Structure 1
């Protein structure tokens, strides 16, 4: 099963600027072999984001082949990110999310 992990940020956000390295390092530690990791600038990739309105950065999306496992903002601490990643990679329970997050997950699953 493929799992998609996307961090939604903005280039102008100072928190995101320093968080990108934290995100990439935490994802590199993951044991998952079929893992697709994306750093998404919400302004540069507005077509991908669609109608989803991100109000808090960073926002994380974890989705598998069929549903969204997690979607929401995180505090920018490395240990929080690692804990959320491990928990939602191990647990395939669908999260209760809005249609905009489900639509983004569908676009991430689609080949470009």
Structure 2
């Protein structure tokens, strides 16, 4: 699939437990995207050296480009609007977006982000 949407959470986190059902509902709403839930403790081997400071942390990738990596408000509407925006972009627009800011440019060369998205 062209898009990967990965949520990094922890089972012990109440916010994560509440967020998961809505995240899975978004997966049904966007069947053209691959959604993956990663428990950062149970699946620590997938995390590499990534630091997750708060929950939920979301990674969105289109093809080989990381479009977003960071903590989100635990409101599904925020993620839904972001996914709709990315889905409306052409592949070239997404590539330009992924390289349009210093932080985004660093994401493209972060082996742990790229590996997590590839495994997600």
Measured against the shorter chain, the TM-score band is 0.7 to 0.9
Equivalent residue for 1:30? 30
Equivalent residue for 1:44? 42
Change (3 A) 1:6 1:101: farther
- Provide the rounded CA distance (Å) in 2 between the counterparts of 1:6 and 1:73: 12
Q: Higher Cα Rg: structure 1 or 2?
A: 2
- Provide the rounded CA distance (Å) in 1 between the counterparts of 2:112 and 2:27: 20
Aligned residue for 1:36, secondary structure, equals strand
Change (3 A) 1:67 1:102: farther
- Contact 1:10/1:16, CA 8 A, preserved across alignment: yes
Does residue 94 (structure 1) correspond to residue 98 (structure 2)? The answer is yes
Equivalent residue for 1:103, pick from 104, 107, 111: 111
Shift of the alpha carbon at 1:88? 2.4
Structure 2 residue runs of 5 or longer lacking an equivalent are none
- Contact 2:6/2:38, CA 8 A, preserved across alignment: yes
Structure 1 residue runs of 5 or longer lacking an equivalent are none
Deviation digits for residues 54-79 of structure 1, max 9, x if unmatched?
00100110012211011111111121
Query: What TM-score, normalized by structure 2, do the two folds share?
Result: 0.78
Q: How many equivalent pairs are there?
A: 109
Query: What TM-score, normalized by structure 1, do the two folds share?
Result: 0.83
